[in-house]
Each structure stands twice: as C-alpha cells, then as structure tokens.
Amino acid sequence: MAVDTATTQSMGICNFATGRLDPTDNTAITVTLGFKPRHIRLVNEDLVVVWEKFEGMADNATIKTVTAGTTTYDTTSGIVITENGFTVLAAAAGDGDNVIWAAWG
C-alpha cells in the first residue's frame, strides 16, 4: 500500500521570496529567508541551467534541467534546505554567473 505524506500551512499563510546570487569564488552560498522553503527554483542565466528542490528530497538531490531540455535527478550539485532558508552548493552557484532564485514556503 502506498503512503502519501503531505505538509500544509495555516490557511492564508504563504511565504515567497526571490533574489539574485553573487557567486564570485565558486563556493557554497547560504540564503537566509526567515522561513523554511518547501520549493526552490534556481536559474543560472549564463549556462541556461535550472535546478529545483522540493521539501522531502534527499539533502544532496535536485532536479536539474539543462539547455538541451534534458532533465536529471542530480545528486552532486544541489540545494540544501535549512530551517531558515537554503544553501546553494558550489557547483550550482557557479563562478561569476548570473544566478536568480525563487523560494516558496
């Protein structure tokens, strides 16, 4: 028998934030939101690569879509959700690339 686990928030409460990363030295970047995100979308405008992370995924896992449209389950260059935001690991942050993000919680 399949088991489905869902999390919800109080009626009328939805957190949303967007921003831009400033990756300059190819290291991990921590973003503090003030809420725990449940979905994060990260877009590297220079490489045209999209990473997405959903609450419940393994810490090192993201869904990655590249320019050619290929989508993979990536376990090497992800996003880690924290209680107050998220951390973008170095491979996803890039080095000097234009990277934008959106987070829903």
The segments of the chain whose pLDDT lies below 70 read 1-12, 77
What pLDDT, on a 0 to 100 scale, did the predictor assign at position 72?
A: 94
Instruction: State the residue for tokens 């919680």.
Output: 105
Are 94 and 44 a contacting pair, CB within 8 Å?
yes
Residue 49's alpha-carbon distances to 35, 39, 40, in angstroms, are 25, 17, 14
- Among 53, 105, 50, smallest CA distance to 80 is for 53
List, for residues 43-60, the tens digit of each pLDDT value. Answer: 999 989 999 999 999 888
